[in-house]
Amino acid sequence: MPNTLWSAAVVVLCSAGIASATQTQPDVEIRTTKVSGNVYMLEGQGGNIGACVGPDGVLIIDDQFERLADKIRGALTKLNPGPLKFILNTHYHGDHTGSNELFGKEGTIIAHENVRKRLTTTQQRGERTVEPLDPSGWPVVTFQDKVKVHFNGEDIQFIHLAAGHTDGDGIVFFPNANVIHMGDLLFSGRFPFIDTDGGGSVEGYLNDLTWVIDNLPKDAQVIPGHGPLSTMAEVQASRDMIRETGDLVKKQIAQKKSLDDIKKAGLPEKFKAFDWQFISTERWIETLYAAYSK
């Protein structure tokens, strides 16, 4: 499948949920894990949600799908009955912004400027047209590089990094709790999805992981966009995997090997564990080939 068509297909899956049987799991439950301090991780279907709860109320990072909004709200109420004040969108994909139109009526949505652009305009994804969200789901506070939210005793840093997963990626750092929410700049233990149609790039993704490793605490707890609660060790493992597999594919491209030849050769055994339903080893090789054969 050509890379642009594959990218479009995976974005459809992202918007419908990077999870198997999105429409066939009506009994999805929201699982809550205390991470550190007043920061929690909520898992359901779609991107992992971060939550900061306390005397000021509730702040969440990403909000999965609209059909799960009541369950998400119920899980948040158990943590803190206070009002929802802020919703931070790490990027524009539907499995992270699907409840924006509901939660945006309760709190203020904050995101990078490119997230607002993509949520407020019609997006062409290959042959598929994605309509903009209702204005209730639009970010009303946007930023270019960094914004701070002073909330529940935390000086929360919302930081935009170079285009990696998309062109609007933001990570969230809680200095007091020592927690990082990575959005989809971390598919923990998995090959990542690089949304090139959404402005992402392999090199950008690699550089973003390197920035996190070099600039944030080594002992931080990490909430990934997808996958289990992690540490900086998983961030390092993801960065190293991308760098090593990229070098392998670049070497074979320099040897004039075709994409089919490279896929047939595969990757070393140690990378087998990163293979998953949506980004298999073959699909990851296709992503790397498209990035480095230009």
- Residue 81 backbone zone (phi > 0: left; psi -120 to 50: alpha; other: beta): alpha
Averaged over 123-129, what is the pLDDT? 79
- Residues 210 and 218: their CA atoms lie apart, in Å, by 12
pLDDT at 197: 92
Residues 6+ apart with CB under 8 A from 19: 25, 45, 46, 95
pLDDT at 26: 63
pLDDT at residue 8 tops 60: no
Which residues is 223 bridged to in the sheet?
A: 181
Lowest mean pLDDT among 19-33, 172-186, 262-276: 19-33
Averaged over 104-109, what is the pLDDT? 98
pLDDT at 27: 86
Q: Which listed CATH number (1.20.1440.120, 3.40.50.2300, 3.60.15.10, 3.90.190.20) goes with 3-292?
A: 3.60.15.10
Q: What is this structure's pTM? A: 0.91
Averaged over 237-252, what is the pLDDT? 98
